């Protein structure tokens, strides 16, 4: 008897997105396991709870969507199998919040296929950790014994790696995701923020007044440590700039230098072009009202500044 069911929805349709919003997907599981370099647990929480709007997919994800059928066709031809697209979201019957969107299933086989396209050097060391977490979650949901990760690397090289299910890993991952969902989604307790969360935290917690808060002892210690690290970073930046200058001096009027296992370039960028809109409006007698009608206002960003008061002698 199957332990999962398929809820049909066209990929990336509003229904599909709504389903994924309600549960924990394979991509979410990698974030919760702190294995994703692309999203933090706090960002995931803010998107899941509707406190922030997740940005549209980037160029890399769009490229992957476009190339996915070609990678699937290559796998079919080289492995002599027929793949089937998954038109929906697979959910675990006993825990419907646990779900996965599969790239492909294999006709006549219990195995599944995950398709990736990447130009990242991280793949030189094998399947990245976040992908390992994703496919183990997919196998947990579907009870699949293995998953072939089919990757097109650098746009030129196909690579297939079979990942066997690891029930111990899956059990720990499921427990972690269940606990995370209960605490952060059901109880609505935000996860701890990290430095990467600066922009999204400003979206979730915008400035609403001109008041000041008073630091306690714990924050005083954090501020002192922050001040020390900023000073150390400035010294390090100066040292790095000095070393870079020595390399630039060696390059001189050439475009770069080649060393033993390294290279450095110091190229001249192409000249940029910018329209002088103020001059254009003045010389073409464009009214201020017309300029204002075509002017877009962008919201200001919250800017963090730390000021160390001068210490008396």
Which pLDDT tens digit goes with each residue over 60-103? 888 888 899 999 999 999 999 999 998 889 999 999 999 999 99
At residue 311, the pLDDT reads 61
What is the average pLDDT score of the chain?
92
- Note the pLDDT tens digit of each residue in 164-182: 999 999 999 999 999 999 9
Whether the per-residue pLDDT at 313 is higher than 50: the answer is: no
* 64, burial (CB in 10 Å: exposed 0-12, middle 13-18, buried 19+): middle
Buried b (16+ CB within 10 A) or exposed e, 173-205: bbeebeebbeebbeeeebbebeeebeebbebbe
Q: Which residues contact 22 (CB under 8 A, 6 or more apart)?
A: 97
């Amino acid at each position: 008897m199957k332990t999962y069911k398929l809820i049909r929805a066209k990929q990336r349709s509003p229904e599909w997105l709504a389903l994924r919003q309600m549960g924990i997907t394979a991509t979410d599981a990698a974030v919760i396991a702190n294995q994703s370099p692309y999203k933090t647990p706090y960002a995931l929480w803010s998107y899941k709870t509707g406190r922030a709007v997740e940005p549209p997919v980037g160029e890399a994800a769009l490229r992957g969507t476009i190339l996915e059928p070609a990678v699937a066709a290559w796998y079919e031809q080289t492995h002599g199998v027929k793949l089937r697209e998954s038109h929906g979201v697979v959910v675990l019957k006993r825990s419907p919040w646990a779900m996965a969107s599969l790239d492909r299933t294999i006709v006549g086989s219990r195995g599944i296929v995950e398709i990736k396209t990447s130009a990242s050097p991280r793949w030189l060391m094998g399947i990245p950790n976040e992908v390992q977490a994703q496919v183990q979650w997919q196998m947990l949901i579907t009870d699949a014994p293995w998953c072939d990760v089919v990757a097109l690397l650098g746009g030129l090289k196909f690579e297939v790696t079979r990942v066997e299910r690891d029930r111990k890993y899956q059990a720990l991952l499921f427990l972690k995701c269940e606990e995370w969902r209960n605490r952060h989604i059901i109880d609505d307790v935000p996860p701890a923020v990290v430095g990467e969360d600066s922009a999204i935290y400003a979206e979730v917690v915008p400035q609403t007044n001109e008041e000041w808060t008073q630091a306690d002892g714990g924050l005083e210690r954090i501020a002192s440590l922050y001040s020390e690290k900023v000073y150390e970073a400035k010294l390090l930046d100066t040292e790095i700039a000095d070393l870079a200058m020595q390399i630039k001096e060696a390059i001189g009027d050439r475009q770069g230098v080649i060393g033993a296992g390294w290279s450095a370039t110091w190229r001249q960028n192409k000249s940029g072009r910018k329209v002088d809109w103020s001059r254009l409006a003045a010389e073409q007698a464009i009214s201020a009202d017309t300029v204002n009608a075509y002017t877009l206002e962008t919201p200001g960003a919250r800017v963090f500044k730390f000021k160390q008061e001068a210490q008396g002698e």
